[in-house]
């Protein structure tokens, strides 16, 4: 079924008219996109894997390079944005994106490292409670990290891992099935670890409801927000999640391998008894350089920092977050819903693919997962589209993933994508 309110883009003129009339204009001209074979900017639908470069990111990096050149070590303490407190600049804009208080959020490390760091605090197995619940389709890095955390604590993953799967013949997880599995293991469950948005299907999980279910069973609840941060509005503080981690190189356009983000709820942020993998940058700034003092964590999520942040990696993210604040995550979400609905309408009309992602806009983000009706052609079609300046990605054996990003994708991009898909599929 087609999402209501998504009129067909009958031709190029209709697509351009939709772009001109949209109440949240695209910021496409503020980004540098790959150039297609015809010399024009590509229709880039792979922001769910690596976001595009914000033009202002170049200047942001050059500013820090110039500071390094002029001030060297004194750059830590001189200027309007000294490096000593540079990471503090990210707390408020990241908090706005995930629905947190600024003190609950920190930019540090990378996603899987942050997973290990926060599991170090929140996975404290006992003889009675030692199991971790994950989903069967978890991103491999998450699964490997969780399995090693179990082994690190002397727990056999064959016993300690609880895996929730879609029902036979289905692609999507059901909230009631996850709740039932949590309840069935309530006496042995230590931690629930799930994605805010499933990375292949694009399904949004009910984070509020599942957090409550995990807590009712006596477990901690953590979230992988790799595909949710910058994609959908969230309210992590109000939902009561214990912790969450995410990357910034996808929807947040931080650049390849860019710094990760982490959330720790305020009820844990000032608990000095909580075990953590401590390091000097998480120490109280007043005594950070004095090695004679015992570790005194900075209150909030910043107390989990182990090392000083990479300034040159933070600068592009700072530029991108300014664009998110310029528009606002709620308005971007409204535009995202319209773009994704238009994409769904056009793809269904093409008859070339089946859409795995939920049809309900509330149950999906920007990304759509497609299954080709002619199996085995995923890699071929991905390459053929790229040769024509249209970028998406594929997963074996016959799945395509693509995301219309509200900051820089347009209705014209969607029209171009579907027209080109018809050509190459033929």
pLDDT at 377: 85
Average pLDDT, the chain: 95
CATH 3.40.640.10, applies to 81-324: yes
Handedness of CA 270, 227, 117, 130 (dihedral sign): positive
Question: Which among 192, 234, 258 has a CA at the least distance from the CA of 50?
Answer: 258
Average pLDDT of span 231-242: 98
Question: Tens digit of pLDDT for each residue in 326-346?
Answer: 999 999 999 999 999 999 999
Rg value, the chain, Cα: 22
Q: Taking the alpha carbons of 106, 111, 117, 118 in that order, is the dihedral positive or negative?
A: positive
Residue range(s) of every CATH 3.90.1150.10 domain in the chain: 12-54+328-425
Residues in contact with 161: Cβ distance below 8 Å, sequence separation at least 6, in sequence order: 131, 132, 134, 146, 147, 150
User: What residue ranges of the chain are covered by domains with CATH 3.40.640.10?
Assistant: 81-324
Give me the mean pLDDT over the 174-181 stretch.
98
Q: Could you report the per-residue pLDDT of 32-65, keeping only the tens digit for each?
A: 999 999 899 999 999 999 999 999 999 999 999 9
State the DSSP code for 31.
E
Return the structure tokens found at 382. 């991905």
pLDDT of residue 1: 35
Q: Give the pLDDT band (50/70/90) at residue 6.
A: low
Tell me the pTM: 0.95
Class of domain 12-54+328-425: alpha beta
């Amino acid at each position: 079924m087609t999402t209501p309110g998504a009129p067909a883009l009958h031709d190029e003129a209709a697509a351009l008219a939709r772009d001109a009339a949209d109440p949240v204009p695209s910021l496409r001209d503020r980004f540098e996109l790959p150039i297609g074979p015809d010399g024009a900017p590509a229709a880039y639908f792979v922001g769910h894997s690596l976001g595009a470069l914000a033009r202002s990111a170049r200047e942001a990096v050059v500013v820090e390079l110039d500071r390094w050149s002029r001030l060297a070590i004194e750059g830590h303490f001189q200027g309007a944005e000294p490096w000593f407190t540079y990471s503090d600049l990210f707390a408020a804009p990241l908090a706005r994106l995930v629905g947190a208080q600024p003190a609950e959020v920190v930019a540090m490390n990378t996603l899987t490292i942050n997973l290990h760091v926060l599991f170090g605090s929140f996975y404290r197995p006992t003889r009675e409670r030692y199991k971790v619940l994950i989903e069967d389709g978890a991103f491999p890095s998450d699964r490997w990290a969780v399995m090693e955390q179990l082994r690190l604590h002397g727990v056999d993953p064959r016993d300690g891992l609880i895996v929730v799967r879609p029902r036979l013949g289905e692609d999507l997880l059901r909230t009631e099935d996850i709740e039932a599995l949590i309840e069935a293991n309530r006496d042995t469950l230590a931690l629930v670890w799930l994605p805010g948005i499933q990375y292949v299907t694009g399904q949004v999980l009910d984070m509020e409801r599942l957090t409550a279910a995990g807590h009712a069973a006596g477990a901690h609840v953590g979230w992988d927000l790799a595909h949710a941060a910058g994609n959908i509005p969230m309210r992590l503080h109000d939902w009561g999640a214990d912790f969450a981690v995410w990357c910034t190189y996808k929807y947040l356009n931080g650049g390849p391998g860019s710094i990760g983000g982490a959330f720790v709820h305020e009820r844990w942020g000032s608990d000095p008894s909580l075990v953590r993998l401590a390091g000097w940058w998480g120490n109280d700034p007043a005594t950070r350089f004095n090695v004679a003092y015992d570790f005194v964590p900075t209150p909030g999520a910043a107390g989990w920092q182990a090392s000083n942040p990479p300034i040159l990696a933070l600068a592009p993210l700072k530029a991108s977050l300014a664009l998110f604040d310029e528009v606002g995550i709620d308005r971007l979400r409204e535009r995202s819903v319209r773009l994704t609905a238009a994409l769904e309408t056009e793809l269904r009309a093409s008859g070339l693919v089946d859409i795995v992602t939920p049809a309900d806009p509330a149950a999906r983000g920007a990304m759509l997962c497609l299954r080709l009706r002619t199996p085995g052609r995923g890699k071929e079609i991905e390459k053929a589209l790229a040769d024509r300046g249209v970028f998406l990605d594929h997963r074996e054996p016959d799945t395509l993933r693509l995301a219309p990003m509200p900051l820089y994708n347009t209705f014209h991009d969607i029209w171009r994508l579907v027209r080109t898909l018809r050509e190459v599929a033929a």
